[in-house]
Amino acid sequence: MKAKGRKDEGRLGGDQLERVAHLFKAFAEPTRLAILQELKGGSRTVGEVVTAIGTSQANVSKQLRILREAGVVKHEKQGTSVSCSIADPVVFELCELVCDKINRDLARDTAPLRF
C-alpha cells in the first residue's frame, strides 16, 4: 500500500514544510532578487553581478551561494572567472505570479479614484 508519506491527504510534515520554507526564503531577500533579476538577462560573472547591483563582493558571493544551494542558480567555471545563470525557469514563473499579485493589490488600493 505504499504508506510512504501522504498520511493525511497530502498534508506535509514538519521536515517537508521546512524544505518548502527554505526554498521560499531564497526569494525573500531584495539583494538576492536583484541578483536573479540581473541573471534574467543571461549569464553573468560574479564580478559583473557585483558591479551591476552595487554591494560588496563578499555579500554577492554569499547570496549566490544561497541561491545555488537552493537549486535556483547554477555556477560554471569559465576560464578565470565564474559564470552564473538561472538554473530553473521556475524562477520566472514564481516572480511573475508574485509581481502580478502585488500589482493587483496595488490596483485595488489605488482604484477607488472613481467619482
Residues that bind a copy of itself (CB under 8 A): 11-12, 14, 17-25, 27-30, 32-34, 37, 71, 88, 90, 93-95, 97-102, 104-105
Is 49 in contact with 60 (CB distance < 8 Å)? yes
Cα angle vertex 109, ends 107, 112, to 5°?
90
Binding partner selected for residue 14 from DNA, a copy of itself, none, CB under the kind-specific 5 to 8 Å limit: a copy of itself
By CB under 7 A, residue 57 contacts DNA: yes
User: What does the alpha-carbon distance between residue 24 and residue 101 come to, in Å, rounded to a whole number?
Assistant: 16
Residues forming contacts to DNA in the complex (CB under 7 A) are 25, 29-31, 45-47, 50, 55-66, 75, 79-82
